[in-house]
Amino acid sequence: LYICADAGFKGTCENLHLDPGKCYNAPNQWNKNISSAGPDNGTFCALYPEYDCHGKALPFTFPGMRALSHYGFDDTSSSYRCEFL
């Protein structure tokens, strides 16, 4: 899962290597600080507003979302999970 602090996959970014099906809580530097996100091709991911993958999920697939603000999810994610399609 590729995440960035700014829209358009800009600003500070990180490519996270996640185990399929496992929920990950965002570390401090990414908690409520993700503005764009994109999974690898063939992967489905979801962002969650609360830790432990709780709350209303925002699901997405490749190529991801350049502006989470368009979905009311800018700087709101605290956890994420991905699966292979």
Domain boundaries, the chain: 2-84
The dihedral of CA 16, 53, 76, 67: what is its sign? positive
Predicted local confidence at residue 26, as pLDDT: 98
pLDDT tens-digit readout, 17-50: 999 999 999 999 999 999 999 999 999 999 999 9
Round the CA-based radius of gyration of the chain to a whole number and report it: 11
Calculate what percentage of the chain has a pLDDT beyond 70: 100
Mean pLDDT of 3-27: 98
CA 31 to chain CA mean position, Å = 10
In the prediction, which pLDDT does 1 show? Answer: 98
Question: What CATH number does the domain located at 2-84 have?
Answer: 2.60.20.10
Q: Provide the mean pLDDT of the chain.
A: 98
pLDDT at residue 70, rounded to an integer: 97
